[in-house]
Copies of this chain bind each other. A is one copy, B any other.
């Protein structure tokens, strides 16, 4: 049964999620920070795929300005910076877990 044209719901939401989290490493970064408790820049660089420093910086800054991450600079020497989830970031964790579980079950 086909819906008529009037009843079709636009999906700004879905495309917005794509726009915000479509970056090559975004959800992987959120996964490591939120689900694996990895918070420091260097740790992330070692764990997130083959990402380069400049790309990691860029994606972190974008996630920060989109409200998913908080950046805490401890102002120590040697430098120490930790990235943690904001409330928005935390709210996304259940979604990420659903994605992960689906992948585990269907992408082998």
Contact = CB atoms under 8 A, between A and B. Distances in A.
Interface of A: 1-3, 8-11, 13-18, 20, 22, 24-28, 31-32, 36-39, 47, 49, 88, 91-92, 94-96, 98-100, 102-107
The quantity of this chain's copies bound in the complex is 2
B1 A28 contact: no
Contact of A98 (B36, B38, B98, B105): B98
Chain A at the B interface: mostly helix, strand, loop or mixed? helix
Contacts of A16: 103, 107
A102 B106 contact: no
Given A3-B36, A9-B36, 19 more contacts: A2-B39, A3-B37, A8-B36, A8-B47, A11-B32, A13-B100, A14-B27, A14-B31, A14-B96, A15-B25, A16-B107, A17-B27, A17-B103, A17-B107, A18-B25, A91-B102, A91-B105, A92-B106, A94-B98
